[in-house]
């Protein structure tokens, strides 16, 4: 997904192995990215390009004229079964394969509007009705579309517009009586019903929709930071002789304080499972919903009614505005390359998009960077082991060199020492060229070379044409460097940067049936982006911040108190609550090229005998911790029990299979059978797993879900409280995992009408989640609705029964 598909990786690996040793050595010892790129590019042969094109053709990213009918019919089947969400996705796929101003696209938009109407998405339904009409919806079908429009307007409390729509419809009938008598009678009855509704609405004062909660975009950071864009005034930028650049607290910071709010410089939607059509699919048209069907490809907002690109079936957007912005900035170049970009992976796609976005900065600065990998103005340093160019910065916020010119700013800063979210900062991120393996550098260089050749072959004039968007021309369109090789070197740099600097943009998605009263959710990777400011955060296995995302915006909040002068730290993935020290250090070394010496790692290194931690096995006789390698012995001096590790691992795997079967029963609604199987799993787990083992918590959580589905709220709460204890031990009482679990417990108490317990749990959940997400999180909004509902209830009368 990040890197090219396996077939291309295997092909390049074989090509590398067949190269003469002298050429391998030349590429391996090349001192600059330019040399690596030019040497690799010279080795790209026509047969290599043909192989890559064959792989790319497997992705159906063009518009197939036969697909709209297929998707419309499949959507109709879902609609008849009242699966309106499923129908919406399929109609959207039909829209994406339709040509503009065709009957296909108008019918798909109209059908999608019907599904959206049943989902209660009336505003979006109206937009689809307009789109259907704009693309030439057949005259014979207009009456039912206008009726749907009138229904939406009445429901939204807009009776005057509804009345006008009804008048237009009646005029249409009088001018063109095309309906059969029976259809006309049905239509007349519907019109009469709507007129009554309109009159009822007109007798009331028409009100605008309720004012929305203050938009997330309006949330400001505390104070303006003059040194680093997108950060609070309580954050400072320094360099360290060992770590390089880092962010520090310039004053005491409280838990929950917003420290960074940064829009991605560049982001690319994770395509999810988009296999070539020939890989095991019954049809070449995929009916599964992927991220690409549900999220805008530019701003990443969730959308039920995407607007497709006119030129391809892959790119979809939440609005015409996003579509136009994407086209002006990069998609006009990317549109014809969809299959190739899916084949070459997300990192290559981001590398291309980054250089495309660089066109909109000052041309001279960009060309300086690309030609020499260092600006003539001193605003970007070359990659070097000596990053200890410390900008004298007082933690109180005053420069110690006040009144003096800083000769060597921190890498990524401008000549005045300011670090901003721009291409200069992106370019300054280290590619760690010397740390990547020679074959990896060859893979990246050959992939970028193939992409450049394709750009050249398509005669797209990528970097030499002026900008077509009048809006962007206002910012003085740059004259761009005409050599694609220069931009190829830049793309290679970005592709190598991404292993250490790419940020997974995540979102919380609900799992299980929509009918479930208790929300079960998981964090999923939605996209990959580059955030120049967030990239300044160094790693800790026990960080003092929490990072979350709303669309393309990353927010960093303090998850605990941070003292003035203390470094602000982020977890790159390996967290002390999820991995042992050896596994964490190995993962960080292989991906990020450093040995972690954070306090948790140092503590665990000094106590190597503490064993495998919470995921360990326990003695089935006395419940003490089992210790050892191939044969585990009870840690209790009074117990002589021993067992082979292989036997325990086999037991755990069998338990995991049983739990998987129980979850399948839950999904199918076979609740009693699922509960019996889970109770058996819990009994089995108690015989060989520690009480805080993750599998123990998962079983309790599944039991809570099952009893909630039966409406047995008391038992559901009891099991979830046991799961909560496991989460607290493993992740801590103020962890984000604890917040999600408390949210579920609050839902159970709320549905069980346990008012004091619900209010208490809501308060606990809010306290934890606010620290990690701020007030705009969906779960916090839901908690506030539950609390408001409970507080508005009339008091329960106390006294003797009559």
Report the pLDDT value the prediction gives residue 484, as an integer from 0 to 100. Answer: 76
Triad 126, 130, 131: Cα angle to 5° = 115
CB 392 within 8 A of CB 233: no
The pLDDT-based confidence of 253 (bands split at 50, 70, 90) is very high
pLDDT of 273: 61
The residue with greater pLDDT, 122 or 469, is 122
DSSP states along 587-608: HHHHHH------HHHHHHHH-G
Question: 166: which residues sit within 8 A by CB, 6+ positions away?
Answer: 150, 191, 194, 195, 198
Q: Are 521 and 510 a contacting pair, CB within 8 Å?
A: yes
* pLDDT surpasses 60 at 159: yes
CB 725 within 8 A of CB 685: no
Residue 323 predicted with pLDDT over 90:
yes
Integer CA distances (angstroms), 129 to 76, 158, 232, 766, in order: 17, 16, 44, 40
Task: Let me know: does 675 contact 706? Beta carbons within 8 Å.
Answer: yes
| Cβ-defined contacts of 436-442 (< 8 Å, 24+) | 436/496, 436/499, 438/16, 438/24, 438/27, 438/28, 439/12, 439/13, 439/16, 441/27, 441/36, 441/40, 441/496, 442/12, 442/16, 442/27, 442/36, 442/40
| β-bridge pairing 503-511 and 316-317 | unpaired
d(CA 784, CA 749): 14
* Contact call for residues 346 and 6 (beta carbons, < 8 A): no
Could you tell me the two tokens for 411?
A: 């890498």
DSSP for residue 179 = S
Please tell me the distance from the alpha carbon of residue 706 to that of residue 687, in angstroms, as a whole number.
23
For residues 223-250, average pLDDT:
90
Per-residue pLDDT, 416: 86
pLDDT tens for each residue of 79-111? 999 999 999 999 999 999 999 999 999 999 999
| pLDDT at 98 (0 to 100) | 95
pLDDT-derived band at 48 (thresholds 50, 70, 90) equals very high
Q: Average pLDDT of 21-35?
A: 93
Instruction: Indicate the average pLDDT of the chain.
Output: 82
**Which pLDDT value is given to residue 523?**
79
Whether residue 215 has pLDDT greater than 70: no
Mean pLDDT of 664-681: 93
How much is the average pLDDT of 543-569? 94
Q: Strand 266-269 to strand 642-644: parallel, antiparallel, or no bridges (unpaired)? A: unpaired
Distances (CA, A) of 388 to 405, 425, 535, 580: 18, 17, 18, 32
- The torsion of the CA quartet 635, 638, 640, 645, rounded to 10 degrees, works out to -20
Q: Cα(51)–Cα(15) distance, rounded to whole angstroms?
A: 12
Query: In Å, what is the CA distance from 341 to each residue of 348, 448, 458?
Result: 7, 10, 15
**pLDDT grade, residue 516 (50/70/90)?**
low
Of 742 and 392, the structure prediction assigns the larger pLDDT to 742
For the chain, the residue count is 802
Distance of CA 98 to the CA centre of its chain: 28
Higher pLDDT, 795 or 523: 523
Give the whole-angstrom CA distance, residue 507 versus residue 779.
12
**Residue 548, phi then psi, degrees to nearest 5:** -140, 170
pLDDT at 363: 44
Predicted TM-score (pTM) above 0.85: no
Confidence tier at 578 by pLDDT (50, 70, 90) = confident
User: Which helix (H) or strand (E) covers residue 96, if one does?
Assistant: helix 84-97
Q: Any idea which of 315-319, 634-638, 696-700 has the lowest mean pLDDT?
A: 634-638
Establish how many alpha carbons lie within 13 A of residue 248's alpha carbon, considering only the half-sphere containing its beta carbon.
17
CB atoms within 10 A of CB 90: 28
Tell me the three state secondary structure of residue 261.
strand
Strand partners, 266: 530
pLDDT score at 507: 87
Write the pLDDT tens digit of every residue in 330-360: 999 999 999 999 999 999 999 999 998 987 6
Assess contact for 234 and 531: CB atoms under 8 A: no
The structure tokens listed for 190 are 């519907």
Q: What is the mean pLDDT of residues 114-140?
A: 93
pLDDT-wise least confident of 107-121, 460-474, 614-628: 460-474
Note the pLDDT of residue 485: 81
pLDDT tens by residue, 744-780 = 999 999 999 899 999 999 999 999 999 998 888 888 9
Which of these, 496, 491, 455, 480, lies nearest to 352 by C-alpha position? 491
Instruction: Please give the helix or strand (H or E) that residue 655 lies within, else none.
Output: helix 645-667
Which tens digits make up the pLDDT trace of 377-419?
333 333 333 322 322 233 333 333 333 434 456 888 988 889 9
């Amino acid at each position: 997904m990040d890197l090219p598909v396996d077939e291309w990786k295997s092909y390049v690996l074989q090509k590398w192995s067949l190269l003469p040793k002298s050429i391998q050595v030349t590429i391996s010892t090349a001192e600059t990215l330019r040399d690596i790129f030019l040497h690799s590019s010279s080795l790209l042969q026509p047969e290599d390009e043909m192989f890559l094109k064959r792989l790319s053709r497997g992705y159906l990213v063009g518009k197939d004229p036969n697909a709209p009918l297929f998707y419309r019919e499949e959507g109709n089947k879902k609609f008849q079964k009242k699966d309106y969400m499923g129908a919406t996705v399929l109609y959207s796929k039909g829209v994406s394969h339709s040509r503009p101003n065709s009957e296909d696209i108008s019918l798909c938009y109209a059908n999608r509007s019907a599904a959206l109407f049943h989902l209660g998405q009336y505003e979006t339904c109206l937009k689809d009705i307009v789109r259907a009409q704009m693309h030439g919806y057949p005259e014979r079908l207009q009456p039912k579309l206008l009726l749907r429009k009138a229904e939406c307007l009445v429901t939204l409390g807009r009776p005057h517009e509804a009345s006008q729509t009804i008048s237009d419809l009646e005029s249409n009938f009088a001018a063109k009586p095309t309906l059969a008598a029976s259809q006309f009678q049905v239509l007349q009855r519907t019109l009469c019903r709507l007129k009554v509704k309109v009159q009822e609405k007109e007798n009331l004062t028409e009100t605008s929709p309720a004012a929305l909660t203050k938009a997330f975009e309006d949330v400001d950071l505390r104070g303006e930071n003059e040194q680093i864009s997108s950060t609070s005034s309580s954050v400072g930028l320094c360099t360290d002789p060992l770590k390089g650049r880092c962010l520090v607290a310039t004053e005491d910071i409280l838990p929950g304080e917003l420290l960074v709010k940064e829009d991605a410089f560049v982001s690319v939607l994770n395509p999810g499972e988009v296999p070539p059509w020939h890989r095991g699919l019954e049809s070449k048209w995929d009916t599964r919903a992927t991220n690409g069907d549900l999220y805008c490809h530019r701003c990443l907002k969730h959308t039920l009614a995407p607007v497709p690109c006119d030129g391809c079936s892959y790119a979809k957007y939440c609005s015409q505005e996003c579509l136009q912005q994407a086209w002006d900035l990069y998609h006009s170049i990317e549109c014809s390359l969809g299959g190739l970009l899916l084949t070459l992976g997300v990192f290559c796609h981001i590398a291309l998009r980054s250089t495309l976005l660089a066109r909109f900065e000052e041309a001279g600065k960009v060309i300086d960077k690309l030609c020499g990998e260092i600006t003539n103005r001193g605003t970007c340093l070359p990659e070097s082991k000596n990053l200890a160019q410390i900008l004298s910065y007082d933690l109180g916020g005053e420069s110690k060199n006040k009144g003096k010119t800083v000769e060597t700013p921190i890498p990524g800063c401008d000549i005045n020492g300011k670090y901003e979210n721009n291409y200069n900062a992106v370019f300054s991120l280290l590619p760690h060229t010397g740390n990547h393996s020679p074959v990896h550098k060859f893979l990246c260089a050959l992939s970028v070379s193939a992409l450049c050749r394709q750009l050249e072959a398509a005669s797209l004039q990528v970097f030499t044409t002026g900008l077509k968007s009048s809006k962007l021309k206002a910012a003085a369109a740059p004259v761009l460097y005409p050599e694609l090789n220069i931009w190829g070197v830049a793309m290679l740099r970005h592709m190598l940067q991404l292993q250490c600097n790419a940020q997974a943009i995540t979102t919380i998605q609900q799992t299980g049936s929509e009918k479930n009263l208790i929300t079960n959710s998981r964090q999923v990777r939605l996209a990959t982006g580059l955030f120049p400011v967030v990239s300044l955060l160094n790693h800790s296995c026990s960080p003092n911040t929490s990072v979350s995302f709303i669309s393309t915006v990353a927010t960093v909040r303090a998850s605990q108190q941070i003292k003035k002068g203390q470094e602000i730290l982020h977890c790159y993935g390996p967290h002390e609550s999820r991995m042992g020290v050896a596994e964490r250090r190995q993962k960080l070394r292989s991906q990020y090229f450093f040995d972690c010496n954070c306090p948790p790692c140092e503590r665990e290194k000094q106590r190597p005998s503490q064993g495998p931690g919470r995921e360990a096995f326990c003695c089935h006789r006395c419940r003490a911790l089992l210790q050892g390698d191939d044969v585990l012995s009870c840690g209790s001096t009074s117990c002589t029990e021993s067992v082979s590790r292989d036997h325990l691992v086999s037991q755990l795997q069998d338990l995991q299979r049983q739990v998987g079967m129980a979850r399948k029963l839950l999904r199918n609604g076979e609740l009693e059978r699922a509960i019996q199987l889970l109770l058996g799993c819990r009994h089995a787990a108690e015989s060989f797993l520690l009480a805080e083992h993750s599998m123990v918590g998962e079983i309790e959580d599944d039991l809570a879900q099952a009893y909630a589905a039966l409406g047995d709220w008391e038992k559901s709460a009891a099991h979830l409280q046991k799961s909560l204890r496991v989460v607290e031990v493993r992740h801590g009482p103020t962890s984000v995992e604890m917040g999600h679990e408390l949210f579920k417990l609050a839902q159970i108490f709320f549905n069980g009408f346990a008012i004091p317990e619900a209010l208490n749990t809501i308060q606990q959940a809010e306290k934890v989640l606010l620290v990690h997400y701020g007030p705009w999180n969906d779960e916090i909004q839901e908690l506030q609705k539950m609390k408001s509902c409970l507080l508005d209830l009339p008091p329960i009368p106390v006294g003797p029964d009559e």
